[in-house]
Chains A and B, each alone.
Chain A
Amino acid sequence: MPRTILEPRFQVEYLSILDSDGNLDTSLEPDLSADELRRLYRGMLLGRRLDERMIRLQRQGRIGTFAPIKGQEASQVGAVVTLRPSDWMVPSFRETAAMLWRGWPIEKLLLFFAGYLEGGQPAPGQNDLPVTIPVATQLPHAVGLAYAAQYRGDDAVVMAFCGDGATSEGDFHEALNFAGVWHVPAVFVVQNNQWAISVPLKKQTHARTLAQKALAYGLPGLQVDGNDVLAVYAACREAVARARAGDGPTLIECVTYRLGMHTTADDPTKYRAAEEVEAWERKDPLTRFVTYLQKKSLLDEGVTEAVDAEIAAAVQRFEAFGAADPLTMFDHAYAARPAHLEAQRTALAERLSNGGPAPTGDTVEPASPPMRGQRTSRR
């Protein structure tokens, strides 16, 4: 018997519309209004400026460890802008710009990274999950949400984020497989920022692309220039429309770069060359979009100042947030407090009222423990 070809050799598309030199493929340019373009820029800029501010807040000990997003603004904002507010967004832990776009108040994000669970509470009716820290484990939740939406007959789409490292986790593969079999309205956005802490992509996978991993599960996979907000937007808009039409899930790999550290507890100079970072700085998603907007005369005066003022006002609200009441830790372990938690709460309440330690919320530790896999060295 001869060997036979069961399927044609696969191909993975790569989409780029606005390259790092500002060259534009006008045939692919999405039809976005002037206001939409301005909002896109503002969303990316807010992500960038807040990120920079958060690093200073962390260094001052006013918030704890967090995962900066610098360089990934386009692959976040370009993706979530294609969702309706009633759609669902499932973040990992490096989606600050996406979360801002989805309506998370800045002060809530700050509270979250200052150790207050209040910061992870979505507003009533807000269809966003809170930050998920264990890598890739949020992806099956997205599949379940999408299944539930389909089951109820709602036309909601679920967009889930993960990084390149997540594509090595079992939950990534299980989620894609379930999504394919169940044909759910989900869009998986992989922010391939080239580094999973200190491990580069070439040690993460032997595959040529991450997008092609979708093909094994019978779903479309597309690679886009993740620093090109127009390309991310175009790809996600198509995927979201496909999901909403009942045509199943899509995987989109955004090729981007983490210009900063993995988290504020990380020192990337230990594992990667300055030249590499400089090369990617020349592909900065904001720089090329600024050029694009300038050509269209859409770059407003004072937008940076307005964004900074918004951040400053939010930082003030964050700092005005009261001390954490320790007793509320017993409120949400269960829907109703079981007897043993009632007893433990009473014990703590008595201790606090008898001159025990003061509520700890007003004394944020100057240096907080590292996130997963981090060295403990601090600056």
Chain B
Amino acid sequence: MARLNLVKALNLALLQEMERDEDVLVMGEDVGVDGGVFRVTEDLHRKFGSKRVIDSPLAEAAIIGAGVGMALYGLKPVCEIQFSGFAFQCFHQIENHAARYRMRSQGRFGVSMVIRMPYGGGVRALEHHSESEEQFYAHIPGLKMVIPSGPRNARALLVSAIRDPDPVIFFEHKGLYHAAKEDVPDEIETLPIGRAQVVREGGDLTLIAYGGMLRLAREAAETLAEEDGAQADVIDLLTISPLDRATLVASVQKTGRVVVVHEAPRSFGPGAEIAASIMDGAFLSLEAPVARVTSWDVPFPGFAREKASVPDLARVLAAARETLAF
């Protein structure tokens, strides 16, 4: 057991999976000697050499495209895109190929690869270094989309992602990299992809969040308990796609009231699919419209105005109180 932040926990997952399985490779810009710009791959190069920890040329499409080729051969590449804002230069390789080879080849080939990307704002960074784009990947059939919320589940989910037979987009919130440390066991842990966790139980309201927004949902739940006497279920999605609808529906059948929090812009975002799924599965239990607290539908406004766009505690509380009073 060790107290690790998110960076160190992810590094542990990579280290242990690479020790376990020679087919696991790490590839990306600056992931080798430099250990990645956020140090997630630190020291792997020294331990496994430049054939397994590949400092690639600066070209996102070929990083993912070559990763697809490696996966078709049977290797398990873990590709890092330095910031999720740059992934549009490989989006076609993800959508056209990583997600589709299993279907196109009718099961002859699979693309067992992980595409890691730092996402999210609140770190006083420039445009393309602060956005949340999970909705693009969650919409693509054939992909899985995972976003951990803390060191321990990040480590376990990354191990699961590496072992998954299908391509997994793995988002890491930049604001969490050096935030809280958690106890992370030395032995390898996994978590099932496609399963959400109820991390706090209450009967009055369901708060749904993931990644960098989970902390906000938990804080809101504690405040509501203290100030309003209302108890909330807090659900950590962990996997955006495939969405764990059963866990969401079970909670809403109990509470009847829902607030979804995400950092991605609102329109056509994960909150919309979550709301629709809840209507499908728990319509007669609903006591209020499903509320969404999200960033506004504007391109990244610059970090001087970022706090006015990314959800904060006050907005989550306001939405929760409106929902409770409806």
Q: A residues near B, CB below 8 A?
A: 117-118, 120-124, 129-130, 132, 134, 137, 139-149, 151-152, 170-171, 174-175, 177-178, 181, 331-336, 338-341
Measured between beta carbons, the chain A residues less than 8 angstroms from B144 are 334
**Complex CA distance for A121 and B68, rounded to whole angstroms:** 17
Tell which of B57, B74, B194 touches A178, judged by Cβ atoms closer than 8 Å: B57
Q: Which of B37-45, B202-210, B227-235, B240-248 contacts A (4 or more CB under 8 A)?
A: B240-248
A334 and B142 form a contact (CB under 8 A): yes
**Complex CA distance for A67 and B137, rounded to whole angstroms:** 31
Give the interface centre of B65, B103, B104 by most chain A CB atoms within 10 Å.
Answer: B65
B73 and A124 form a contact (CB under 8 A): no
A144 and B104 form a contact (CB under 8 A): no
B70 and A137 form a contact (CB under 8 A): no
**Complex CA distance for A181 and B96, rounded to whole angstroms:** 25
B102 and A144 form a contact (CB under 8 A): no
Shortest beta-carbon distance from A180 to chain B in Å: 9
* Besides the known contacts A140-B62, A148-B69, 9 further A-B residue pairs in the complex with CB atoms under 8 A apart: A148-B72, A170-B59, A171-B65, A177-B57, A178-B66, A333-B102, A334-B142, A335-B110, A335-B165
Closest A residue, CB atoms, query B280:
A343
A122 and B68 form a contact (CB under 8 A): no
Cβ of B149 under 8 Å from chain A: no
Closest B residue, CB atoms, query A124:
B108
Measured between beta carbons, the chain A residues less than 8 angstroms from B142 are 333-334
Measured between beta carbons, the chain B residues less than 8 angstroms from A146 are 69
Measured between beta carbons, the chain B residues less than 8 angstroms from A137 are 61, 65, 92-93, 96-97
B61 and A170 form a contact (CB under 8 A): yes
Task: Provide the B89-111 mask, 1 if CB < 8 A to any CB of A, else 0.
Answer: 00011001100001111111110
Measured between beta carbons, the chain B residues less than 8 angstroms from A117 are 103-104, 106
A174 and B65 form a contact (CB under 8 A): yes
Q: Which of B220-239 contact A (CB under 8 A)?
A: none
**Complex CA distance for A347 and B131, rounded to whole angstroms:** 37
Tell which of A122, A129, A149, A340 touches B242, judged by Cβ atoms closer than 8 Å: A340
Shortest beta-carbon distance from B137 to chain A in Å: 14
Shortest beta-carbon distance from A310 to chain B in Å: 24
B102 and A148 form a contact (CB under 8 A): no
Q: B residues near A, CB below 8 A?
A: 25, 51, 56-57, 59, 61-62, 64-75, 77, 92-93, 96-97, 102-110, 141-142, 144, 165-166, 194, 242-243, 245-246
A332 and B102 form a contact (CB under 8 A): yes
Number of A-B contacts defined by CB within 8 Å: 135
Measured between beta carbons, the chain A residues less than 8 angstroms from B67 are 144
B70 and A147 form a contact (CB under 8 A): yes
Give the interface centre of A141, A142, A146, A178 by most chain B CB atoms within 10 Å.
Answer: A141
**Complex CA distance for A149 and B75, rounded to whole angstroms:** 10
B69 and A140 form a contact (CB under 8 A): yes
**Complex CA distance for A158 and B25, rounded to whole angstroms:** 20
Tell which of B66, B103, B107, B166 touches A144, judged by Cβ atoms closer than 8 Å: B66
A339 and B242 form a contact (CB under 8 A): yes
A338 and B62 form a contact (CB under 8 A): no
Shortest beta-carbon distance from A92 to chain B in Å: 13
Tell which of A148, A170, A178, A332 touches B103, judged by Cβ atoms closer than 8 Å: A332
Closest B residue, CB atoms, query A125:
B108
Shortest beta-carbon distance from A368 to chain B in Å: 18
Closest B residue, CB atoms, query A90:
B69
Shortest beta-carbon distance from B75 to chain A in Å: 5
Assess A333 versus B103: contact at CB under 8 Å? Given A137-B96, A144-B65, A178-B59: yes
Assess A177 versus B59: contact at CB under 8 Å? Given A145-B70, A334-B166: yes
Measured between beta carbons, the chain A residues less than 8 angstroms from B51 are 151
**Complex CA distance for A171 and B243, rounded to whole angstroms:** 32
Closest A residue, CB atoms, query B55:
A181
Closest A residue, CB atoms, query B74:
A148
**Complex CA distance for A335 and B164, rounded to whole angstroms:** 9
Tell which of B57, B93, B105, B243 touches A340, judged by Cβ atoms closer than 8 Å: B243
Measured between beta carbons, the chain A residues less than 8 angstroms from B73 are 144-145, 148-149, 152
A140 and B103 form a contact (CB under 8 A): no
**Complex CA distance for A148 and B75, rounded to whole angstroms:** 7
Measured between beta carbons, the chain B residues less than 8 angstroms from A341 are 242
Give the interface centre of B66, B96, B97, B165 by most chain A CB atoms within 10 Å.
Answer: B66
Shortest beta-carbon distance from B144 to chain A in Å: 8
Measured between beta carbons, the chain A residues less than 8 angstroms from B66 are 140-141, 143-144, 147, 175, 178
Closest B residue, CB atoms, query A186:
B69
**Complex CA distance for A152 and B75, rounded to whole angstroms:** 9
Closest A residue, CB atoms, query B95:
A134
**Complex CA distance for A174 and B106, rounded to whole angstroms:** 28
The 16 sampled A-B contact pairs (Cβ below 8 Å) are A117-B104, A121-B106, A122-B105, A122-B108, A137-B96, A149-B73, A151-B75, A152-B75, A170-B61, A174-B59, A175-B66, A178-B62, A181-B57, A332-B102, A333-B142, A335-B166
**Complex CA distance for A124 and B106, rounded to whole angstroms:** 11
A332 and B56 form a contact (CB under 8 A): no
**Complex CA distance for A118 and B106, rounded to whole angstroms:** 6
Assess A177 versus B62: contact at CB under 8 Å? Given A117-B104, A117-B106, A130-B104: yes
Shortest beta-carbon distance from B302 to chain A in Å: 29
Measured between beta carbons, the chain A residues less than 8 angstroms from B106 are 117-118, 120-121, 331-332
Measured between beta carbons, the chain B residues less than 8 angstroms from A338 are 194, 242
**Complex CA distance for A107 and B303, rounded to whole angstroms:** 58
